[in-house]
Structure 1
Amino acid sequence: MTQIEKARDFRALHRPGDPLVLYNVWDAGGAEAIARAGAPAIATASWSVAAAQGFEDGQAIPFALLLGIVSRMAAAVDLPVSVDFEGGYAEDTDKLQDNLRQLVRAGAIGINFEDRVIGGSGLYPLADQEARITALRHAADREGVPLFINARTDLFLEARPDGKPAALIEEAKTRAAAYAAAGADGLFVPGLTDADLIGALCRDIETPVNVMMTGDLTIGAATQAGVSRISFGPASYAAAMNDLAARYRALNLAG
């Protein structure tokens, strides 16, 4: 498939009640393994990509290194590859657009783009994040690729442990509408695990909703709630590393 065909296929995989399930990977080998297992698309998780190269999450991995990893993944599989772009590795919108162009040219057909201020505190003001999403949309359009921009809001991750997620739903809806108007194609709500609240969000916004498997949330409950996309974030990396360590311990070299 061409990159444009992959982008169109990826968009079509987002179906409410029949969600795209993405088991996030961090390198070309993982992409190939998931592809052989029957996955319809590939997605990275920023935490996992960084950790696999010895970096902390939060844009600590050099962008040039990330581009190389994405390029190898896109070359290794004939599937759509969506990339966790974090905050775009830039504040300035010109630099943001340049980074996006490089990512698309490396083979990406989709991105996660978050509203958390990386290296700062809190979330970007709504107008600022709208402008950032609009800049990305314009850059992707100029590349001629119908990039799927999955706008991530960290509202539910930023909430205090004793906070009530229900109180944040209206703000999430407001951000979803603003992000969609700016050019986003979906809303990613990591940290929201209450199936009833997820269902309310799915019913009240127009864009596909993406949840992450954390807490007590299950694929079945998320599907019933009407989500269009399910991802696992760093959980797949943690499971793989735990398995690797367990296999080494099972060698009983000390005995």
Structure 2
Amino acid sequence: MRSFAALHRAGNPLLLPNVWDVAGARALAEAGFAAVGTTSLGVAASHGLPDGEGAAVDETLRLVSRLAALPVHVTADLERGSVEAAVAAAAAGAAGVNIEDGLGDAAAHARLVRDVKREVPELFVNARTDTHWLRRGDPDEALRRCRLYRDAGADGVFVPGMTAPREIAMVVEALEVPVNVLYSPDGPRVGELAALGVGRVSLGSLLFRAALAAAVATAAAVRRDEDVPGGLPSYQDVNG
């Protein structure tokens, strides 16, 4: 199996589905995906917790320890993160972590990246900046923060919410580490992102939200005495 880092290839990016449970991760592994990430929204919401507040870190670490038994690489979304959480994720079997700056102090986030790489140098650290997620988007500020995190030792950088091809190309061309973008149904397709040199495309909470919509739609179809979608996994498939 290729190393997790080797899956990040400009022109042939890693398509990373994000999961919140073992069954979904197993199904994705069987479908040929080489790696999965956790989704902070999916993990938090499925436990009745809020996202974005670090409330589900323990649940994420427990999930990682279960996912580690599958034949895929696992990367953990630790939200703001901490050295302790990153070390615990590595011990649980994670090949990588995602830590976000929340548009806080960029220098402090760079120190966190440096400290994590010092403690667990083998861990792939994907350093996220929220310049395009928590506000309208400033490509120059995104690039400044990405450079800081790269210089601190980040193995990759992540700018969720950045969908303009020109901005994506600018960041890719300015950095020597893989650039991660969040797939958006309204943004560039994977082929276009590959042509821009992106090294990783994450699905974020997309699968979790799609699963919620499908569950409600199926229940509503039964209530209306309509047919439910075919091709569903059987009980035996899931129970394995």
TM-score under structure 1 length normalisation: 0.83
SS at match of 1:58: coil
Structure 1 residues not aligned, in runs of 5+ = 1-5, 89-95, 117-122
Deviation for aligned residue 1:206: 1.2
- Superposed, 1:118-157 pairs within 5 Å as 123-141=103-121, 146-157=122-133
1:226-246 Cα deviation digits (max 9, x unpaired): 100001111110111111111
In the superposition, relative to structure 1, how do residues 63 and 169 fare at CA in structure 2: closer, same or farther (>3 Å)?
closer
Question: How far apart are the structure 2 equivalents of 1:227 and 1:60?
Answer: 28
Deviation for aligned residue 1:132: 1.1
Question: How far apart are the structure 2 equivalents of 1:63 and 1:205?
Answer: 30
Residue from 67, 70, 81 that aligns with 2:74: 81
- Superposed, 1:3-22 pairs within 5 Å as 9-22=3-16
Deviation for aligned residue 1:253: 6.5
Counterpart of 1:13, as a letter, is L
Partner of 1:109: 95
Question: How far apart are the structure 1 equivalents of 2:34 and 2:139?
Answer: 31
Relative to total residues, which structure has the larger helix share, 1 or 2?
A: 1
Question: How far apart are the structure 2 equivalents of 1:253 and 1:156?
Answer: 41
1:1-40 Cα deviation digits (max 9, x unpaired): xxxxx7x711001000110001111111111010001001
Q: How many residue pairs align between the two structures?
A: 225
Partner of 1:189: 159
RMSD between superposed Cα atoms in Å: 1.8
Deviation for aligned residue 1:147: 0.8
1:56-110 Cα deviation digits (max 9, x unpaired): 10135343322211111112x121100111111xxxxxxx322222111111110
**Aligned: 1:97 with 2:83:** yes
TM-score under structure 2 length normalisation: 0.88
Percent identical pairs in the alignment equals: 38
**Aligned: 1:238 with 2:218:** no
Counterpart of 1:100, as a letter, is A
Question: How far apart are the structure 2 equivalents of 1:52 and 1:153?
Answer: 25
- Superposed, 1:23-42 pairs within 5 Å as 23-42=17-36
**Aligned: 1:172 with 2:158:** no
Question: How far apart are the structure 2 equivalents of 1:226 and 1:180?
Answer: 17
**Aligned: 1:202 with 2:196:** no
Question: How far apart are the structure 1 equivalents of 2:151 and 2:166?
Answer: 26
Q: Which has the higher contact order (CA 8 A, sep 6+)?
A: 1
- Superposed, 1:58-69 pairs within 5 Å as 58-69=52-63
In the superposition, relative to structure 1, how do residues 158 and 62 fare at CA in structure 2: closer, same or farther (>3 Å)?
closer
